[in-house]
Structure 1
């Protein structure tokens, strides 16, 4: 296993140089002081290019910062590449971005893999995957603002269903309890992928109507998430043939949150890529959500 996992999408999904800091500072222009409540158990954030979804993702991290940063972020994202283990926990080492290195919580990673019935310690699945990587600069930026180190446990999911969500959510909770680790689970997902570029046009609509129609479909799923309803979320996805790419991670975040005593969930921000691109060839929905005790 390499000691350092180098960035795969710096310069494409997000800036590769000093301009990354300026972009993050703009996203967090309204950031308050770091809190100490630690009520937030998990969050949902998108993983598209920052120009499309970066502000939405920043809303999740802003809420977490103002609630209080955890020791470790467990980040679950879909495996878009097909490489490596179907459920891959990055074992150890450091992840590098233009902002520097962040350490993998190897003790937590091993505990999750041990307690899960389906996860493997595997770095290959992460080598070129972007869904976890794009979350890391947000975490680094806020850890720098707080003046302390925060670790990560990256996990990619090539299989996503109720059983995977239940297994991983429980394994993360039990690992955190076993190690007395303060954890926030981050589910990295985009919502509906609509348009000819995705080969998915389930309804026709004029360009100006598209964001509203896509939002209607996404909110059928989001309502289930806000209700902590993993089974209902997957049922909606199957009934609509919905193209949300990270439901397994979201389901695991819900399972973990229930076990960690969360009692409420809040949608902080929603948008679509159409607001930036004005293209109907490929439109994606993005949401920022947090779960709280």
Structure 2
């Protein structure tokens, strides 16, 4: 009797599972029909001119409400202790997954929230290429960058002006979507500014030489001095561990993670002093694999060539590591937040 009841129970369970699967299929079919009825203007992500938010749902939340709560929480926890800011000109921001670098990134973006622009901003976002090898800087061909918090318009006029200079490549959609360094800045910008209050000029920075760094710095310095621009320098600092092929360790500095911090601190000191020569000397000596080193160099050229260079200051305001490495088998990535500003 008990065996028969068990068989009947299994049959009932199978029927219920089939019914659930049938309902799911019907719902998916219904959703597809509803999607087909949506006007074309609302289906921008199917157009070739949209750079989709492909890292949403993995590197950061794809749910707008959840993402807003997370960003708000990090901004509330961040401190803005520099009180001499007259105008923000640049932010140095990490670009790892938000679970790792979000709290650090919030320290830079806290200043954008505290010192909001008085007019619509043109935001230049310089990010390194992690997956595609290029020897120039790349401009986008897209018109829209998608985020869970709304779509952001590309400043097509400025992109055209830069492209006409002749030393910019144009990236393809696949390459742009594979790269995360620019995308990771967009939710913070969209949340703080609102997508209608700024446009972006995304620039993928390749493995460029010193001459090219100076060229791009000189070219962009004209825009850097404008009142309606902000530069975002997307970079992480030391990538430590055998998987990154970098294991510099000075035991005199203490534990491995303490040695890493002192190593990064040397780089940050040169950047704060706007000393590009010493920053380059440091990179040659320690070979620290700062992924956005060329982006930083372009920023330092912009500062040096700025009409307001004597009034400009850069301060690092937060530093963190993904893991406090004590064992050579471990690995970590360093995150730093900085602001460049005109002094009050």
Equivalent position of 1:289 in the other structure: 338
TM-score by length of 2: 0.75
User: Are 2:54 and 1:8 aligned?
Assistant: yes
Equivalent position of 1:20 in the other structure: 67
Find runs of 4+ consecutive structure 1 residues off by over 4 angstroms.
Answer: 30-33
CA contact (8 A) 1:77 1:131 kept: yes
RMSD of the alignment, in Å?
2.9
Q: Distance in 2 between matches of 1:122 and 1:171?
A: 19
Q: Distance in 1 between matches of 2:239 and 2:172?
A: 27
Q: Distance in 2 between matches of 1:210 and 1:113?
A: 44
User: Are 2:281 and 1:235 aligned?
Assistant: yes
What displacement does 1:189 show? Answer: 0.5
Equivalent position of 1:51 in the other structure: 99
In the alignment, structure 2 segments of 5+ residues that lack a partner are: 1-46
> Aligned residue pairs: how many?
285
Equivalent position of 1:129 in the other structure: 179
In the alignment, structure 1 segments of 5+ residues that lack a partner are: none
Per-residue displacement from partner, 1:48-107 (whole Å, max 9, x unpaired)?
111111111111111123222361110001101116774101144110011120011111
Higher relative contact order (CA 8 A, sep 6+): 1
Matched residue SS, 2:270: helix
CA contact (8 A) 1:43 1:60 kept: yes
What displacement does 1:165 show? Answer: 2.4
What displacement does 1:212 show? Answer: 1.2
Judging changes above 3 Å, is the alpha-carbon distance between structure 1 residues 171 and 130 closer, same or farther for their aligned structure 2 residues? same
Equivalent position of 1:71 in the other structure: 121
CA contact (8 A) 2:78 2:107 kept: no
Which one of the candidate residues 200, 212, 230 is aligned to 1:152? Answer: 200
What displacement does 1:248 show? Answer: 0.8
Normalized per residue, which structure has more helix?
2
User: Are 2:150 and 1:97 aligned?
Assistant: no
Q: Distance in 2 between matches of 1:261 and 1:204?
A: 39
**Which structure: larger Rg?**
2
TM-score by length of 1: 0.87
